[in-house]
């Protein structure tokens, strides 16, 4: 069986995962809450982290709400959160523009109230698309040019709003998108996200925007500045591989995926290398547990008391050749989390070495748990 180098995670023995980091950058939907409801164990886990002196910043691609509104929601769930503890992709976009233009510069705001609020808080002048469309005066001017467009999600964004964005971009305005998430989970199901609206404008202007939300590093870099720590000393936490984990890695930050949201074990198995998290846990309680790091052995992989190996139909270990279709994944001992961590390390190793296809790896995992 060919091998690739395994992650070099140097955790101290018999200490919790939280003990290894100065602070946390935590995603919200799918990690802390699902819609209006807190996810089980998330609130006490985060309160304990704060009680132990760790800074926590909440970073969300959702651009529609202002930090004050998000903080109010978190406080209603039992967290001691202030607006400065919340970074939305609107905040990141406004921060980027504020570093490029003079205070008071006019920026077309497309999206929910969170977009306009972020621009005003950054010292810029938000120009709502509806006012431009109506010909209303903004700061004494009507239909005056804008230096940039900040486009974020809003439930009431119209085709006419998108047209105003296209007109401004055609006129030379800098175009910044808060995020390009194609879908948005709602209580009624999956709805089109900001990425769908951005694509509509892109088709009209035949160009792409500067994107400041995840998976880019901007939100994580801003969060690190607020916490006053280097990114490598902070832990990014999320439930989506291609946004939360990729974004943390883009900022040079280690990341943990929790299994309370969008992505689960099968998504982890087939993840691209850049989106593979250093840490995996069932939920935020993992922060306060001793984290057992998996390691490869000649026979397979181990993590704590868990052992995982690939065996053939005759129960012999597979080695020195691609894994056959008759192979099985043998998982014994340890906790569910330890079993998953060991399995991921082993399967990633085999995939990277070309001994196993991602689809076959998923099939092995399904056979072991089902």
Instruction: Write the DSSP string, 87-130.
Output: EEHHHHHHHHHHTTS-TT-EEEEESSHHHHHHHHHTT-EEEEHH
CA distance 53 to 3: 40
CA distance 234 to 24: 6
The DSSP letter of residue 171 is: T
* Residue 155: burial class (beta carbons within 10 Å; 0-12, 13-18, 19+): exposed
Q: Which residues pair with 87 in a beta bridge?
A: 59
Query: What strands, in cross-sheet order, belong to the sheet with 210-211?
Result: 125-128, 106-110, 148-151, 174-177, 210-211
Task: Give the chain's end-to-end CA distance (angstroms, integer).
Answer: 25
* Residue 275: burial class (beta carbons within 10 Å; 0-12, 13-18, 19+): buried
C-alpha separations of 262 from 46, 95, 341 in Å: 20, 28, 18
C-alpha separations of 318 from 93, 197, 333, 341 in Å: 51, 49, 20, 20
Contact 114, 156 (CB under 8 A): no
**What is the CA 110 to chain-centroid distance, rounded?**
23
Query: Which strand (E) or helix (H) includes residue 343?
Result: helix 336-352
CA distance 200 to 123: 29
Catalytic residues: 27, 29
Structure token pair of residue 303: 């993590």
């Amino acid at each position: 069986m060919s091998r690739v180098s395994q992650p070099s995670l140097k955790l101290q023995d018999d200490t919790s995962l939280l003990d290894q980091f100065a602070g946390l950058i935590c995603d919200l939907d799918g990690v802390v809450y699902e819609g209006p409801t807190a996810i089980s164990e998330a609130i006490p886990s985060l309160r304990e982290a704060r009680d132990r002196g760790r800074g926590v910043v909440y970073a969300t691609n959702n651009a529609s709400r202002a930090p004050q509104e998000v903080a109010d929601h978190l406080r209603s769930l039992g967290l001691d959160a202030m607006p400065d503890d919340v970074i939305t992709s609107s905040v990141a976009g406004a921060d980027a523009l504020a570093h490029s233009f003079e205070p008071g510069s006019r920026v077309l705001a497309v999206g929910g109230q969170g977009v306009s609020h972020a621009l005003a808080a950054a010292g810029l002048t938000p120009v709502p698309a509806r006012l431009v469309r109506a010909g209303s005066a903004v700061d004494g001017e009507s239909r005056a040019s804008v230096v940039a467009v900040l486009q974020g999600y809003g439930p009431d964004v119209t085709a006419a709003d998108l047209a105003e964005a296209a007109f401004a971009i055609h006129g030379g305005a800098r175009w910044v998108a808060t995020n390009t998430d194609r879908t948005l989970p709602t209580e009624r199901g999956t709805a089109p996200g900001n990425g769908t609206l951005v694509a509509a404008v892109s088709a009209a202007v035949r160009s792409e925007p500067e994107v400041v939300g995840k998976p880019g590093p901007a939100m994580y870099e801003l969060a690190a500045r607020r916490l006053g720590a280097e990114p490598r000393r902070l832990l990014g936490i999320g439930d989506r591989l291609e946004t939360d984990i990729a974004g943390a890695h883009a900022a040079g930050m280690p990341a943990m995926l929790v299994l309370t949201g969008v992505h689960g074990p099968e998504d982890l198995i087939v993840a691209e290398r850049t989106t593979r998290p250093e840490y995996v846990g069932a939920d935020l309680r993992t922060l306060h547990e001793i984290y057992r790091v998996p390691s490869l052995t000649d026979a397979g992989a181990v993590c704590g008391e868990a052992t995982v190996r690939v065996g053939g139909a005759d129960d012999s270990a597979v080695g020195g050749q691609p894994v056959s279709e008759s192979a099985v994944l043998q998982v014994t001992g340890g906790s569910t989390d330890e079993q998953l961590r060991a399995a991921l390390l082993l399967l990633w190793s085999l995939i990277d070495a070309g001994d196993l296809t991602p689809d076959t790896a998923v099939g092995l995992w399904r056979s072991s748990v089902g």
